[in-house]
Amino acid sequence: MMESIKALSVLNSHTNFLDFKATTLFRYLSALFIFLACLSSSFAASANILISPTRVAFEERQRAERLIVVNNSDKVQSYRLSWQERAALSEGGYRDLEGIHDKSLSSMVRMSPSQIRLAPGQKQIIKLSVRRTKTLAPGEYRSHLLLSALPLEQTSSGGKGINIDIQVNYSLPIILRVERETPVVSLTGLDLKRAEENDTLKISMAKQGKFSSFGRVEAFFTPSGKAEKQRIGIIENYSIHSELERALLPMTLLNGYRLSGTGKLTLKYSGQKEYQGEVFFEQQIDIN
């Protein structure tokens, strides 16, 4: 259980809107390209490709897994597969690392094939097989499988104009656990940020142990004088990676919900997949 909870601080913010008018087509397209390039590469699905699952966790005796990749576009798509070493950030996302380290998994996993070409609507199975070393120490090992988009195959067109194809790379965590133990996760802080459209909870957590957590984070509110609680926020498939001791998770409340009045706010982090049935924490907070 958590030893203490910081008092809720209500941060009132007003959104300022800047009127922007593009004076040339080049400026408009440049801004659009920059925006799309900043999108996270960890999305499981886009207009172009579907990947399932979006995360692979090898357990103690498991040796093989597979990914299914589906071309969801109307064009031929090609991807080269390679390994990427990344470190998780406490506020979400990753930073890239140079070279392998003592918790890298890439040297122990074989992938097949290493390059794929998919016609529209076609699917491809990518096989992953792990080869553990005999002296592998207990702990969690992780590398990221990178699908790098290759240039699109162009067809001749008599039309004039500008054609822009935005291609996105995809990076998926591949995990191996040796002698897995369930991590201990606790709620350490909560801030409420008010905005004109949606309220946002900023949830601070601490993790103990050398293994990552994985599951669903939910927020419920029970107004004073009522018995039934309402779910006001949810985030699926949330992981605090093994290298992190603290994490900060922003949660935008559902359907423009505004947290007002008195009552009880309940935050719950429950396990999914390999942690199904675990409850990392469930904490109730009085809202006055």
Query: Got the DSSP string for 221-272?
Result: EEETT----EEEEEEEEE---TT-SEEEEEEEPGGG----SSEEEEEEEEE-
In sign, the C-alpha dihedral spanning 98, 99, 103, 104 is: positive
C-alpha distance from residue 45 to each of 159, 172, 214 (Å): 30, 12, 20
Rounded average pLDDT over 199-222:
97
Going by C-beta distance under 8 Å and a sequence separation of 6 or more, which residues neighbour residue 31?
22
Per-residue confidence band for 154, with pLDDT thresholds at 50, 70 and 90: low
Chain length of the chain: 288
Q: Do domains 10-14+181-287 and 41-151+165-178 have the same CATH topology?
A: yes
* Rounded percentage of the chain residues whose pLDDT exceeds 90: 67
Beta strands in the chain (DSSP E): 10-12, 49-52, 56-58, 64-71, 77-84, 86-88, 94-96, 109-112, 115-118, 123-130, 139-149, 170-178, 184-194, 200-208, 215-223, 230-238, 246-252, 263-271, 279-287
Could you tell me which residue, 244 or 167, shows the higher pLDDT?
244
Residue extents of the structural domains in the chain: 10-14+181-287, 41-151+165-178
Domain spanning 10-14+181-287: CATH 2.102.10.10: no
pLDDT at position 273 over 70: yes
CA 149/CA 167 separation, integer angstroms: 6
Tokens of 214: 């994985």
Does the predicted model carry a pTM greater than 0.75? yes
pLDDT in tens, 9-21: 332 333 333 333 3
233 beta partners: 219
Could you tell me which residue, 47 or 128, shows the higher pLDDT?
128
pLDDT reported for residue 282: 98
Task: Count the Cβ atoms, other than its own, within 10 Å of residue 175.
Answer: 22
CB 97 within 8 A of CB 87: yes
The amino acid occupying position 79 is Y
CA 276/CA 207 separation, integer angstroms: 18
pLDDT reported for residue 160: 55
CB 221 within 8 A of CB 263: yes
CA 52/CA 43 separation, integer angstroms: 11
| Long-range contacts from 223-231, C-beta under 8 angstroms, 24+ separation | 223/261, 223/262, 223/263, 224/261, 224/262, 224/263, 226/263, 229/264, 229/266
pLDDT reported for residue 155: 55
C-alpha distance from residue 33 to each of 46, 80, 166 (Å): 16, 22, 8
- CATH class for the region spanning 41-151+165-178: mainly beta
Q: DSSP alpha helices (H): ranges in the chain?
A: 25-37
pLDDT at position 29 over 50: no
Match 């103990």 to its residue by tokens: 208
* Rounded percentage of the chain residues whose pLDDT exceeds 70: 78
pLDDT at position 25 over 60: no
